[in-house]
Structure 1
Amino acid sequence: MDVRRRLMTDLPWLCGVGITAYSAVIVATVGVGYDAHAYWLAARGPLYGAAPNTPDAYLYSPAFTQAIWPLAQLPWPVFCAVWLGAAGIVFALLLRPLGWRRALPLWLCCTPEVVSGNVFWLFAVVVALGLRRPWLWAVPALTKITPALGPVWFAVRREWSRLGISVLATALVGALSFALDPAGWWAWIEFLRSNLGSTTSQVGGLFVPPVVRIPVAVALVAWGAWRDRRWTIPVGMVLANPVFGSTALVVLAGLPLLLRDRAPADPSDDPARSAGQAVADRGDAGPS
């Protein structure tokens, strides 16, 4: 076996084992499900009582807590087990197309997300399925906001029906959530206004600030849509995350299904494409 092939075989395992060890250190230091605990508390009590970058800080819209409210009525240990277990199962299913020899070390690389219980495992589902099911883009739009780059892809490719579904789904869920808890929404807006950019250590202060990363992410996804490079979607989502961190890389777990499932473009979205296809179809049919 040559060095390059051996490296491709061994490197994922080395990374997986190392990251799993790092996850064990996290659990020993701050416990398991520390992000999930913030969601559980927010769904049961005040939404925005903790400042960003502090324990149990909740940063998302009220729509998310409303969505998980039934689950959050369970005792914390049960909620934690269900939430973290779902994350682990989802990553296994997303990586399954690679075969267990490749999938297992990559699953181990996802363990920081599994033990923390953040929402990136949901984003990985959006990566895998969001081109066929555009309404899924409401999930990042109503949580971390800026990683919701699916509409950029649809707009550049003139897939107007999918663009409309993604925007309309987000608007409808947001409107329903606002109707149920208008005070919560005003509190969220004020929370974002008062904390966004207040200190670099609170919001988006790691590495390159979001004011630089987000335009780069939008440009990358726009280029990817133009050149049909689907891998730019999860990469752009990582770059556009408000707080840039290595845990966000787990959204790449959606790539195997994203690349395998080639959703056909909707020709009705682009009149020029429809006309061209009609001419081609007549040419293929030949004289009658």
Structure 2
Amino acid sequence: MPVWLVAALTVNLCVELVRRLGLGWDSHAYWLAWHGPMYDAAPNTVDAYLYSPAFAQAFWPLAQLPWPVACAITVAAPAGALAWLLRPLGAFWAIPLWLIGLAETLSGNIFWLLALCALWGLKHPWLWAVPALTKVTPALGPVWFAVRREWRQLGVSVGATALVVAVSYAISPELWSQWLTFLTDNAGGAGHGLGSAFSLPLVVRLPLALALVVAGALTGRRWLLPVAMVVATPVTSIACWVVLAAIPRIQRDRLQRDQPAPLAARVRDRVQGAANRP
């Protein structure tokens, strides 16, 4: 099967990446951010920290641990999350797809968090603060809410993000100044990841991502949301495809919601209804 072939090739690639870069090569940048100047390393260099100070502050407890311990946590978390997300597919598909996601797992990146946001973010709108304060452009939940005129959810998503920014800024205003300077100085310089040679520029992909979100919101196709988030990822790589792992759970939730109630439950409801009639 092609999926098993891709899985085998991915495993081989990841072995080489670990050999060259070490385990947790992305999460090491998050850990190292608290062990030196946070925004000195340029994009596309080893250990460059690109996210907002808010994410760094959330990561601070892990940064106080020895690197091997922090590395183990940041590798185990995406490994477990990805296995859980893919479980509805059954072992034949879940195992090779989990192996294909090894670039995310072994790097310690946060695309698995974005997958969870895609799965739960429409029910818990405050979760959109996570992509907004890390990879920024995949934070498409508020667009979904605006298209569907779900104003309360839109307000919660925007308000939660603003609240996190306000608290974070109150704690470390100088880090926010450094981050904004970093973004300005390196605008357009953070778009190259493993596999990005086959990707279109973000200026082309972002309108497509917005179109996908609008289409999904208008038709109720929630699975288009993680697809749009992948398209909108600023730094494309093979790891960003992990966001699509939200789709099996999204589709399973839809099927469970749409399927008729079990026979026993329907009989019970009818009996109770008959008993309540005068």
Pairwise same-fold verdict (TM > 0.5): yes
The correspondence for 1:236, drawn from 210, 214, 228, is 228
Once residues 43 and 144 of structure 1 are traced to their aligned partners in structure 2, the CA distance between those partners, rounded to angstroms, is 19
Asked if the contact 1:137/1:170 (under 8 Å) is kept, the reply is yes
Once residues 22 and 48 of structure 1 are traced to their aligned partners in structure 2, the CA distance between those partners, rounded to angstroms, is 29
Note the alpha carbon deviations across 1:164-204, whole angstroms, 9 max, x for none.
Answer: 111111111111101111110011001000101258769xx
The correspondence for 1:96, drawn from 84, 87, 109, is 87
- Runs (5+) with no aligned partner, structure 1: 1-9, 265-288
Once residues 137 and 198 of structure 1 are traced to their aligned partners in structure 2, the CA distance between those partners, rounded to angstroms, is 24
Opposite residue 233 of structure 1, the aligned amino acid is L
Q: 4+ residue stretches of structure 1 with deviation over 3 A?
A: 198-202
The residue number in structure 1 matching 2:208 is: 216
The 3-state SS of whatever aligns with 1:21 is helix
The residue number in structure 1 matching 2:60 is: 69
Once residues 190 and 234 of structure 2 are traced to their aligned partners in structure 1, the CA distance between those partners, rounded to angstroms, is 13
Once residues 28 and 190 of structure 2 are traced to their aligned partners in structure 1, the CA distance between those partners, rounded to angstroms, is 24
Note the alpha carbon deviations across 1:205-263, whole angstroms, 9 max, x for none.
Answer: 74311111111111111111111222211111111111122221110111111222249
1:247 aligns with 2:234: no
1:153 aligns with 2:147: no
The residue number in structure 2 matching 1:261 is: 253
Asked if the contact 1:43/1:66 (under 8 Å) is kept, the reply is no
Once residues 164 and 23 of structure 1 are traced to their aligned partners in structure 2, the CA distance between those partners, rounded to angstroms, is 41
Pairing 1:33-48 to 2, within 5 Å after superposition: 33-48=24-39
- Runs (5+) with no aligned partner, structure 2: 258-278
Once residues 64 and 161 of structure 1 are traced to their aligned partners in structure 2, the CA distance between those partners, rounded to angstroms, is 25
Once residues 117 and 93 of structure 1 are traced to their aligned partners in structure 2, the CA distance between those partners, rounded to angstroms, is 17
Once residues 138 and 53 of structure 1 are traced to their aligned partners in structure 2, the CA distance between those partners, rounded to angstroms, is 24
User: Structure 1 residue 64: deviation in Å?
Assistant: 0.4
Pairing 1:1-288 to 2, within 5 Å after superposition: 10-197=1-188, 206=197, 207-262=199-254
Q: 1:198 to 1:247 in 2, by over 3 A?
A: closer
Once residues 175 and 209 of structure 1 are traced to their aligned partners in structure 2, the CA distance between those partners, rounded to angstroms, is 32
Once residues 226 and 103 of structure 1 are traced to their aligned partners in structure 2, the CA distance between those partners, rounded to angstroms, is 30
Once residues 227 and 27 of structure 2 are traced to their aligned partners in structure 1, the CA distance between those partners, rounded to angstroms, is 24
How big is the alpha-carbon RMSD for the aligned residues of Structure 1 and Structure 2? 2.0
Opposite residue 232 of structure 1, the aligned amino acid is L
User: Structure 1 residue 68: deviation in Å?
Assistant: 1.1
User: Structure 1 residue 100: deviation in Å?
Assistant: 2.1
The 3-state SS of whatever aligns with 2:229 is helix
Once residues 198 and 119 of structure 1 are traced to their aligned partners in structure 2, the CA distance between those partners, rounded to angstroms, is 20
What TM-score results when the alignment is normalised by the length of structure 2?
Answer: 0.86
Asked if the contact 2:44/2:190 (under 8 Å) is kept, the reply is no
Once residues 189 and 33 of structure 2 are traced to their aligned partners in structure 1, the CA distance between those partners, rounded to angstroms, is 22
